[in-house]
Amino acid sequence: MEAFQRTVAHYGRQVRFCYEKRLLSDHSLAGRIVVRFRITGDGDVVSAELTESTVANPDFEACVVDSMKTWVFKAPRGGGDVLVNYPWVFKPED
**For residue 72, what are the β-bridge partners?**
44
- pTM for this prediction: 0.91
Q: Which residue has the higher pLDDT, 93 or 13?
A: 13
Q: Which residue has the higher pLDDT, 32 or 78?
A: 32
> What strands, in cross-sheet order, belong to the sheet with 45-53?
45-53, 31-39, 82-90
Is 14 exposed, middle or buried (CB count within 10 Å of its CB: 0-12, 13-18, 19+)?
middle
pLDDT of residue 76: 86
pLDDT of residue 1: 76
Going along the chain from its start, the domains and CATH numbers come out as 2-90 (3.30.2420)
Q: Measuring CA to CA, which residue among 65, 49, 70, 59 is closest to residue 23? A: 59
pLDDT tens profile 41-82:
999 999 999 999 999 899 999 999 999 999 999 998 888 999
Q: For the chain, what is the radius of gyration of the CA atoms?
A: 14
